[in-house]
Homo-oligomer: A and B are copies of this chain.
Amino acid sequence: MTLADATRSQRAEAPQDPPDAASVRRVITDEGGATAHERVYKHLRRRILHGEMAPGDHLTLRGVAGELGVSMTPAREAVRRLAAEGALAISASGRVSAPVLTPQRIEELASIRALLEPELAARALPRAHFSLIERLKRMNDEIDKHLASGDAAAYVRGNLEFHRTLYLRAHAPAMLALAETVWLQTGPSMRALYARIGMGRVADYHAKAIAALAAGDEAGLRLAIRADVRQGLTMLSNEGLDSA
């Protein structure tokens, strides 16, 4: 629902000159999809999730408002919402920035993922039809391609999409939302990691997971997912130190 694949809606760059008119709103919302604050929210969320924002980067309300062609009010709501989810940090003075994660925090987030995601995968297992497994295989091939070509952004994006596609079958929206919250928090740091050290050899736990999925092996699936999750984040906590 959130990870709108397809085309990543190009920034509208709306002309936006209505100091007088108010009926423009309808047009705007029709174009974007929903309310203004939701457009802003999704835009920022995607940027954070895909790592298009480095840890510590600052954001101004007037900046995001102007960028999306809306006023400060919906911009503030979107920023606050992201902050509530841990995707953005607000200093005591109100400045917003992408959070810089301490090693302890990274370990914690990894543990949370290691708790939630195997459970999500296990719940998806009995509902995993053949077509889903095929789709996951194709996705994993795509990921490998990005990995080979060194496209970090595409790799991160594909990886998230892979996990999300699998977990959607679990029919556990609250649990999935929690997992996505964690992804959101690690987004900026993950991207910074891959961009810095490149992504040399990452063990293909996705393949293991797919095999376990096809075999109906719940224990194996849980292990594969746990290993996959742990790998990404321990890499981060090891290498993330020298950047501070």
What B residues does A73 contact at CB under 8 A?
A: 73
Of A37, A116, A174, most B-chain CB atoms within 10 Å: A174
Q: Is the CB of A174 within 8 A of B86?
A: yes
**How many identical chains are in the complex?**
2
Stretch at the interface among A24-32, A106-114, A148-156: A106-114
Report the bound CA distance from A119 to B175 in whole Å. 16
Q: Is the CB of B84 within 8 A of A85?
A: yes
In the assembled complex, how far is the CB of residue A222 from the closest CB belonging to chain B, in whole angstroms?
Answer: 12
Q: Is the CB of A105 within 8 A of B174?
A: yes
Residue interface mask A196-218, B partner, CB < 8 A = 1: 00000000000000000000000
Report the bound CA distance from A80 to B38 in whole Å. 11
Is A65 engaged at the interface, CB distance under 8 Å to the other chain? no
Q: Is the CB of A177 within 8 A of B81?
A: no
Is A76 engaged at the interface, CB distance under 8 Å to the other chain? yes
Residues of A within 8 A of B (CB-CB), count: 28
Report the nearest B residue to A73, measured CB to CB: B73
Is A165 engaged at the interface, CB distance under 8 Å to the other chain? no
Is A159 engaged at the interface, CB distance under 8 Å to the other chain? no
Is A228 engaged at the interface, CB distance under 8 Å to the other chain? no
Q: Is the CB of A116 within 8 A of B115?
A: yes
In the assembled complex, how far is the CB of residue A102 from the closest CB belonging to chain B, in whole angstroms?
Answer: 11
What B residues does A104 contact at CB under 8 A?
A: 171
Residue interface mask A110-130, B partner, CB < 8 A = 1: 011001100100000000000
Is A168 engaged at the interface, CB distance under 8 Å to the other chain? no
Q: Is the CB of A109 within 8 A of B185?
A: no
Is A14 engaged at the interface, CB distance under 8 Å to the other chain? no
Q: Is the CB of B81 within 8 A of A111?
A: no
